[in-house]
């Protein structure tokens, strides 16, 4: 078999595997034939090969045979997930954000119910005495990045964390309302919470399970977060976070 034929075979196998999704976890041979445009003979040959190596499984519903993704793909996928270096992958996005906006950008990681600043890129408007630094640990109820994480957690887990803040009923209700707005808008805006006269915007980062695991944020002096600039910052951050989330295996709805 020529190298070209081998490459084409790999490409066809990949086309079949990519047909399966959360909405369509199982497909018949007829489905695969129709969706790929391959002949039934070709589709069957590839499905049999993929089944033989564990990339597909054949199951029956009544008398009808169906294919679904096999356990070997789960094993490979787990290896990929465990090998992902989030800070390394985030670097290029933070650099792009800071280069475009000229403000400092930050990567916050969710650990132990707190937000850890694990990487940052200084912008040309970097202010030495009024900024977040690598290694800083913040509670999840203040700051652009932390709030973006808290707002997108599972509601039960979110409520557990909120209880640890020991807020009175009024402050608790205000925080919950704020988190609902952050989740709906897709970003958080923080003013004068971590440092005086500063502001920050944060957006969530999701993993392959659709769970929030981190956040990207931009922070600077408060005057740089006026009504004209906020939409620009949000747009840049959302584009970066969506691209990074996709690298982690996140699939948008």
CB 64 within 8 A of CB 28: yes
Q: How far apart are CA 186 and CA 236, in angstroms?
A: 13
How high is the pLDDT of residue 130? Answer: 55
Range of the domain at 242: 85-247
Among candidate residues 147, 81, 87, the one with its CA nearest the CA of residue 114: 147
> If you average pLDDT over residues 92-106, what whole number do you get?
94
> If you average pLDDT over residues 84-99, what whole number do you get?
88
Identify whether residues 120 and 228 lie together within a single domain: yes
Identify whether residues 152 and 68 lie together within a single domain: no
User: Of 19, 45, 79, which marks where a domain is finished?
Assistant: 79
How high is the pLDDT of residue 47? Answer: 94
Q: Does any domain span residue 253?
A: no
Would you say residue 86 has pLDDT above 60?
yes
How high is the pLDDT of residue 195? Answer: 83
How high is the pLDDT of residue 230? Answer: 95
What CATH number has the domain bearing residue 14? 1.10.10.10
Q: 130-176, pLDDT tens digit by residue?
A: 567 888 889 999 999 999 999 999 999 999 999 999 999 999 999 99
Q: Which residue has the tokens 């709805």?
A: 253
Identify whether residues 233 and 133 lie together within a single domain: yes
Identify whether residues 45 and 92 lie together within a single domain: no
What CATH number has the domain bearing residue 184? 3.30.450.40
* Prediction pTM value: 0.68
How high is the pLDDT of residue 83? Answer: 43
Among candidate residues 141, 143, 82, the one with its CA nearest the CA of residue 113: 141
Identify whether residues 139 and 196 lie together within a single domain: yes
Would you say residue 227 has pLDDT above 80?
yes
How high is the pLDDT of residue 133? Answer: 80
Q: Does any domain span residue 167?
A: yes
> If you average pLDDT over residues 217-223, what whole number do you get?
91
């Amino acid at each position: 078999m020529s190298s070209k034929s081998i490459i084409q075979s790999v490409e066809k196998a990949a086309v079949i595997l990519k047909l399966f999704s959360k909405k369509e976890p199982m497909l018949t041979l007829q489905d695969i034939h129709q969706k790929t445009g391959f002949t039934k003979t070709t589709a069957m040959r590839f499905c049999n090969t993929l089944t033989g190596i564990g990339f597909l499984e054949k199951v029956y519903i009544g008398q009808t045979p169906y294919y679904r993704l096999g356990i070997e793909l789960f094993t490979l996928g787990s290896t990929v997930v465990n090998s992902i270096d989030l800070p390394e992958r985030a670097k290029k996005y933070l650099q792009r954000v800071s280069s475009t906006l000229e403000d400092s950008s930050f990567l916050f990681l969710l650990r132990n119910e707190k937000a850890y600043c694990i990487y940052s890129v200084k912008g040309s408007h970097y202010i030495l005495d009024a900024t977040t630094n690598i290694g800083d640990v913040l509670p999840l109820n203040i700051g652009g990045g932390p709030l973006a994480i808290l707002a997108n957690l599972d509601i039960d887990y979110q409520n557990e964390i909120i209880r640890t803040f020991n807020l009175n009923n009024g402050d608790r209700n205000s925080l919950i309302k704020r988190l609902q707005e952050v989740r709906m808008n897709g970003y958080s805006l923080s003013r004068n919470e971590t440092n005086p006269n500063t502001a920050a915007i944060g957006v969530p980062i999701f993993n392959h399970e659709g769970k929030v695991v981190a956040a990207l944020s931009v922070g600077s002096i408060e005057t740089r977060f006026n009504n004209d600039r906020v939409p620009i910052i949000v747009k840049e951050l959302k584009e970066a976070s969506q691209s990074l989330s996709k690298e982690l295996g996140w699939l948008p709805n």
